[in-house]
A and B are shown apart, each in its own frame.
Chain A
Amino acid sequence: MTITALQSSVHPAVEGGLRLQVTNISAQTDSISSITLVDPSGGRLPSYVPGSHLVVQYGSGVNAYSLTGSGNAPSEYIISVLRVDEGAGGSIAMHQLEVGDLVFVSYPRSAFAPVSNASHHLLVAAGIGITPILSHARAASDRGTTSSLIYVYRPGAGAHVDEARELMGSALTECGDRNSFQKVLTEQLTTQSLGTHLYVCGPVDFMDSVLNQARELGWSQARLHSEAFGAAELDDGEPFTVNLVRSGVKLDVPAGVSLLETLEKAGKTIPNMCRKGICGECVLPVLRGTPQHRDLYLTDEEKASNTTMMCCVSRSEDPELELDL
């Protein structure tokens, strides 16, 4: 139980959550493993909304992973983890887990829910983005709603391919390259009946491309649903100063250091989770100045109003920002 020994304290993001035991680890591909977690006392786990994710603690950090089941009265939670060698270390720690280890996890969190009155779900996944999409496909099948799936993966690097084939049958289209995917996507985007909603998960540029094409073909925003799991690489940015009005403190944020890190070093406790501009946890109220928004959470309108910012990735257009802190 190597990991448990390292978990000296419970991370705030998983506090009040669950303590689960690893009962199975199976390799999906060379770099993706599925990890099965159960309640050590044998109880049933809380149900979750399809497309939900679990925050899992590794050492002193946390990462979010999509649950792959339908979410209906589960006896186990299964996540699939892609090993990212140049990441923050979470995926490597997850790959070092062994059967019998105990891990701290949050309750499932829903940020990618299906639309309940949709008559058809058009699901699009690339690479490890298959995980929440598989949850949607299973839930749709359980509820008797039809769905179709376009799954893009590099040959030999596809996780859950057999499950997807068994579940979807002829409603699954597998693509090994961008060209064949383009053709299938355009065909699917132009032939859907009116009750269809689209769900996409994959790398950010992949999702942007799918969503842009859908919009160009007349899909309204309310039909489009996406879940980001990897933010694009961000540059170091320019240094700036923050004026914490309520505390009466001014702090310098150097290039290459985030506002969140600067605030933490100054002893401020800012709720946060993904630290990638995705989850929305570290939102801060802005009193004056124009933030340089680099997150994927705020809407375009919210960004334009310049009254809030995500301090994990966003910086400042002006030399100084005033925060209500």
Chain B
Amino acid sequence: MCSMSMPQAAVAGLEPGFRGVICASFGLTGDTAGYDPGAQPRHELHFDAATPAALAGLRSALERSNVGVRLVLSGPPAEIRAAAALAADCGLLDEEVTLLEALAGPRVIYCPHCHTTTIMQGDGAEVECQGCATTLAVTDHFSRRMGAYLGYSAYAEEAS
């Protein structure tokens, strides 16, 4: 298992039409070694983070695969939720994806005012949007499509 960032690297050794299990781990906490896919062929991937390059690599691997493939994702919530959103976009269904979520980790907050996402450390109730500097109140409403929690302008109703 080696660290990769290029799409070509992610599909190295992956036969076209793969229908086994793709195990992708993220960051330091990601570990799919304990996952037993049974007799299915297994393709291992490791990424430091769910960067655009890493997600492009995962997309190449999924696009090379056929119906029947399963995906196992392990690591911090923000990373594997981004990967799960990508998998859904590629046509994988919820029941075909297994999430091995690390218990703690940063969250991704979506700003509906400027449509950017902000990574939030810790478990506070507010975060400043990195796109428009609005102070966002963080909700529990999670979008699987975006892999992010919904935020909203925290003080919109106060006179300024």
Contacts and interface: CB of A to CB of B under 8 A. Distances in A.
Contacts of A191: 17, 66
Contact of B95 (A189, A196, A217, A222): A222
B68 interface: yes
A43 interface: no
A190 B95 CA distance: 19
A189 to B, nearest CB: 8
Contact of A190 (B17, B62, B92, B94): B17
B17 A194 contact: no
A193 interface: yes
Interface string B69-99: 1100000000000000000001111111000
Contacts, number: 47
Interface residues of B, number: 17
Contacts of A218: 19, 67-70
Contact of B63 (A193, A217, A219): A193
Nearest to B62: A194
A305 interface: no
A222 B67 CA distance: 12
A220 B69 CA distance: 10
Question: Binding site of B, secondary structure by majority: helix, strand, loop or mixed?
Answer: loop
Nearest to B71: A194
Q: How large is the interface on A (under 10, 10 to 19, 20 to 34, 35 or more residues)?
A: 10 to 19
A217 B69 CA distance: 10
A96 interface: no
B117 interface: no
Contact of A217 (B68, B91, B93): B68
Nearest to A195: B91
B93 A119 contact: no
Contacts of A190: 17, 19, 66, 68
The residue among A118, A190, A193 with the most chain B CB atoms within 10 A of its own CB is A193
A222 B93 contact: yes
B65 to A, nearest CB: 7
Interface in B81-132: 90-96
Contacts of B69: 194, 218
Interface of A: 118-119, 189-196, 217-223
Interface of B: 17, 19, 62-63, 65-70, 90-96
Given A193-B66, A218-B69, 19 more contacts: A118-B91, A190-B17, A190-B19, A191-B17, A191-B66, A192-B66, A193-B67, A194-B63, A194-B67, A194-B69, A195-B91, A217-B19, A217-B68, A218-B70, A219-B67, A219-B68, A220-B93, A220-B95, A221-B95
